[in-house]
Structure 1
Amino acid sequence: MELVRMIRIVLWSFFGVRKRASHDADFANVNFSVLPFVAVGLALLIGACILGVVMLVAHNTGTVQGF
């Protein structure tokens, strides 16, 4: 359950809009030694998803044009 809480904290920080009271409540009891690893992992996952979509679109575009 703590991992889900940390993922939620990181995703809210990526989005950037959060009430101060909710932010303070989330950080009241979180393991700060694991949080950077969760953040880097989620950033890599989001980046890989974006890259996958771009590669999918670029690959389909390339075959339609006949190159």
Structure 2
Amino acid sequence: MEILRLVRIVLSAFFGVRKRASHEADFANINIVALPFVAVFLALCIGGCIFGVVHLIAHSTSTMQGL
């Protein structure tokens, strides 16, 4: 359950939708050592998703140029 809390904290920090009261409450009860690892993992996942979508769009438009 703590991993889900860490994911929620990191995603809300990425997108900037965090209230101060919930921010302070979460940081009182989490494992600070694991937080950077979760943040890096989620950043890689989001970057990979963006790269995949761009690759799909670029690939589909490059095959249409021959028509």
| TM-score normalised over the length of structure 2 | 0.96
Counterparts of 1:4-23 in structure 2, within 5 Å, are: 4-23=4-23
Structure 2 unaligned spans of 5+: none
Identical columns (%): 70
Equivalent-residue separation in structure 1 for 2:18 and 2:39 (angstroms): 17
Residue matched to 1:29? 29
Equivalent-residue separation in structure 1 for 2:25 and 2:65 (angstroms): 53
Q: Report the RMSD for the aligned CA atoms in angstroms.
A: 0.5
Structure 1 runs of 4+ off > 2 angstroms? none
Give the residue type in structure 1 aligned to 2:30. Answer: V
Structure 1 unaligned spans of 5+: none
Equivalent-residue separation in structure 2 for 1:59 and 1:11 (angstroms): 29
| TM-score normalised over the length of structure 1 | 0.96
Between 47-56 and 16-25, the greater mean CA deviation after superposition:
16-25
